[in-house]
Amino acid sequence: MTTNQGVGSSNLPRRANFNKCGNMDYLLLLFLIILLIIVSIILINIKKNDQKESNTENIFQEYNEKQQTQNESLGRQEQALSDLRITIQDFQEPLQKLRNYLSGGTKAGQFGEWSLQAMMQDIFPENRYKENEEIIEGSGQRVEFALTLPGGLLQPIDAKFPSGLFDNYLNASSKGNRDQVNTAKKDIERHVKNDAEDIQKKYILAGKTSDMGIMYIPSESLLQLIDSMNIREDLFRDYRVLLLGPNSLAAYLISVSMNFRVESFNDRASEIMDEFGKLKKEFEKFNNSTNDLRKKAEEVLNKIDDYSTRERQMSKAIKNMDNLNTKKK
């Protein structure tokens, strides 16, 4: 009993040491596991940070690219605006010139003459009209254009453009001032009647021109205003002057041009008929020659028939003679 107890008591320190060593190993393993987890977490965080930095770099790169694209677009827009400003500046000078020509006086008259000249040149050849023609010899008064009509008479056409008075009317209308509007309309009416009287006295001559003159108003809006005054019939009755604008004058000139073509066709028609008469005579001669040739051909055929008949008769006679000689033998 004593011996067994001594042995048992001696094993107790060993078990204690073993348990202590086992606890140490367990703690060490647990420490390693925790350390491994911490390292893994650190690595994962580092990777996430790298991804965040990469994403941040991509975002900055995209932003820079978009910014560059916007800058280029703004640059193009600025260049387009600059080109537009240059274009507008280039147009200012001719627009100012046109404004000066339309502001009245001599320059406005020149504008009417130029538009009339362009219309005449577009529709007629140069030999169909005359520029600055003196209708009444020695008068020194020259109409801007004299159109040669079918038949030889001249049609005087003169451009009139009281643009200054028309501007007064437009300004008064924009202000809504009725008194000024009525005054401007009366001024225009008086000016147009004076121009019509001048055309009648200076450019209409019996035996040389037609019995009417044409006043060309190079503005459809001004012509509409004059029509609203109901003076067109009065001008034609009193002064034998017809008012025409760009559209109506073009239609009139085109109709005259068509008459020229009809007249030219009529002139050519007589020539065509003469040539047709010559052709008819030649055809009759050819027909007569053909008939003579047919008759001669028929005579030749008849003679050939006669010769053929005689040849058959002679052949028959010769054959009969041969038969007689054969019988005698």
Predicted confidence pLDDT, tens digits, the chain (329 residues): 444 444 444 444 555 554 555 566 667 777 778 877 887 787 777 766 666 666 666 666 776 777 777 777 777 777 777 776 776 666 666 555 445 444 444 455 567 788 899 999 999 988 899 999 999 999 999 999 999 988 889 999 999 988 788 888 988 988 889 999 999 999 999 999 999 999 999 999 999 999 999 999 988 888 999 999 999 999 999 999 999 999 999 999 998 888 777 665 555 556 666 766 676 676 666 666 667 777 777 777 777 777 677 777 777 777 777 776 666 55
Report the distance separating Cα 198 and Cα 133, nearest Å. Answer: 15
Per-residue buried b or exposed e for 126-147, using 16+ beta carbons within 10 Å of the residue's own CB: eeebbeebebeeeeeebbbbbb
- Which pTM does this prediction carry? 0.52
Residue 151 has φ and ψ, to the nearest 5°, of 110, -15
Question: The tokens of 245 are what?
Answer: 């604008």
What is the predicted pLDDT for the residue at 7? 42
What is the predicted pLDDT for the residue at 46? 72
Cα dihedral sign for 114, 120, 121, 125?
Answer: negative
What is the predicted pLDDT for the residue at 99? 52
Type of residue at 254: I
What is the predicted pLDDT for the residue at 199? 95
What is the predicted pLDDT for the residue at 157? 95
Q: Between the CA of residue 131 and those of 127, 244, 257, what are the distances in Å?
A: 11, 19, 17
Report the distance separating Cα 249 and Cα 116, nearest Å. Answer: 9
95-247 CATH fold? Trna Endonuclease; Chain: A, domain 1 (3.40.1350)
Mark out the alpha helices in the chain (DSSP H runs): 2-102, 105-123, 163-175, 178-203, 220-228, 232-239, 246-328
- In DSSP terms, 146 is beta-bridged to 130, 156
